[in-house]
Chain A
Amino acid sequence: MNPDVQARLERLKSTPIDGQVLKKLVEAGLTWLRANQQIVNLLNVFPVPDGDTGTNMVLTMQSAYNEIVSLGHHGVGQMAAAVSQGALMGARGNSGVILSQLWRGFAHALHNQDVLDGPSLVRAFAEGRDTAYKGVVRPVEGTILTVAKDSATAAAEALSKTDNPFEILARVVMAADASVERTPDLLPVLKQAGVVDSGGKGLFFILEGMLRYINGEPLDTPTSTVQPISAMNMENAMEDIEPGQDFEVVVDFIPAQELDLQKFYAELETMGTSIQVGEGEGMYRMHIHVPTENRNKPADYIMGLGTITKVGMENLVAQMDEIDKKSAGSRIELTSIEPGQIAVVSVSPGQGISRVFASLGVAAIVEGGQTMNPSTKDILDAFENLPTDKVIILPNNKNIYLAAQQAKEVTVKHVYIIPTHNIPQGLAAMMHLNPDGAVEAVAARMNKSIEDVIAIEITTATRTVEIDGVSVEQGQVIALVNGKLAVSTASVEESCLVALEKAGTTDRELITLFYGEDLSSAEANRIVDVVRAAYPAQEIELQDGGQPHYQFIISVE
Chain B
Amino acid sequence: MGEETTTLGTIHISPSALATIAYHATMTSYGVVGLAPRNLAEGLAMSITHEPARGVSVNYNGEEIDIDVHIIIEYGTRITSVADSVANAVRYQVEKALGMPIHHVNVHIQGLRISNPD
A interface list, Cβ under 8 A from B: 46-48, 88-89, 91-94, 96-98, 100-101, 104-105, 107-108, 111, 131, 134-138, 140
Q: Which of B72-97 contact A (CB under 8 A)?
A: 74, 76-78, 81-82, 84-85, 88-89, 92-93
Residues of B contacting A94 in the complex (Cβ-Cβ under 8 angstroms): 29-30, 81, 85
Specify which of A93, A101, A104, A108 is in contact with B85 (CB 8 Å cutoff). Answer: A93
B78 touches A135 (CB 8 A): no
Q: Given A104-B116, A134-B115, 19 more contacts at CB 8 Å? A: A47-B93, A88-B76, A91-B81, A93-B81, A93-B85, A94-B30, A94-B85, A96-B78, A97-B82, A105-B116, A111-B118, A131-B116, A134-B33, A134-B116, A135-B30, A136-B32, A137-B27, A137-B33, A138-B27
How far is the CB of A455 from the nearest CB of chain B, in Å? 35
* Contact across chains for A134 and B74 when beta carbons are under 8 A apart: yes
Query: In the complex, what residues of B have CB within 8 A of residue A48's CB?
Result: 88, 92
* Contact yes or no, B30 A136, CB < 8 A: yes
Contact among B32, B78, B84, B115 for A88, CB-based, below 8 A: B78
Interface positions, chain B 12-65, Cβ under 8 Å from A, are 27-34
Q: Which residues of A contact B85 (CB under 8 A)?
A: 93-94, 97
> What A residues does B115 contact at CB under 8 A?
134
Min CB distance A145 to B, Å, is: 8
- Give complex CA distance A134, B34 in Å: 12
Q: How far is the CA of A123 from the CA of B86 in the complex (A)?
A: 31
Residue of A nearest to B84 (CB): A93
How many Å lie between the Cα of A46 and that of B91 in the bound state?
12
Secondary structure of the B side of the interface?
mixed
Contacts of A100 on B, CB cut-off 8 Å?
Answer: 77-78
Q: How far is the CB of B64 from chain A (nearest CB, A)?
A: 16
Central interface residue in A135, A136, A138, by most chain B CB within 10 Å:
A135
A471 to B107, CA, bound (A): 52
5 nearest A-B residue pairs (beta carbon): A47-B92, A91-B78, A135-B74, A94-B85, A97-B81
Report yes or no: A136 in contact with B116, Cβ–Cβ below 8 A. Answer: no
Assess whether A136 is in contact with B28, with CB atoms less than 8 Å apart. Answer: yes
Compute how far the CA of A96 lies from the CA of B78 in the bound complex, rounded to whole angstroms.
9
Query: Once the chains bind, are B88 and A47 in contact (CB under 8 Å)?
Result: yes
Q: Which residues of A contact B88 (CB under 8 A)?
A: 47-48
A96 to chain B: which residues have CB within 8 Å? Answer: 78, 81
Query: What are the residues of chain A within 8 A of B118 when measuring CB–CB?
Result: 104, 107-108, 111
| Cα-based distance from A503 to B31 in the complex (angstroms) | 63
**CA–CA, A304 to B118, complex, Å?**
59
Q: Which of B27, B31, B84 touches A135 (beta carbons < 8 Å)?
A: B31
* A107 and B74 alpha carbons, distance in the complex (Å): 17
Say yes or no: A136-B81 contact (C-beta < 8 A), given A47-B89, A104-B116, A108-B118: no
Min CB distance, B79 to chain A, in Å?
10
Q: Which residue from B27, B33, B77, B89 sits with its C-beta under 8 Å from A101?
A: B77
In the complex, what residues of A have CB within 8 A of residue B93's CB?
47
Measured between alpha carbons, how far is A88 from B76 in the docked complex, in Å?
A: 7
A312 to B67, CA, bound (A): 54
Residues of B within 8 A of A93 (CB): 81, 84-85
CA distance A476 to B76 in the complex (A): 63
7 A-B residue contacts at CB 8 Å? Answer: A88-B78, A91-B78, A101-B76, A104-B76, A104-B118, A136-B31, A137-B32
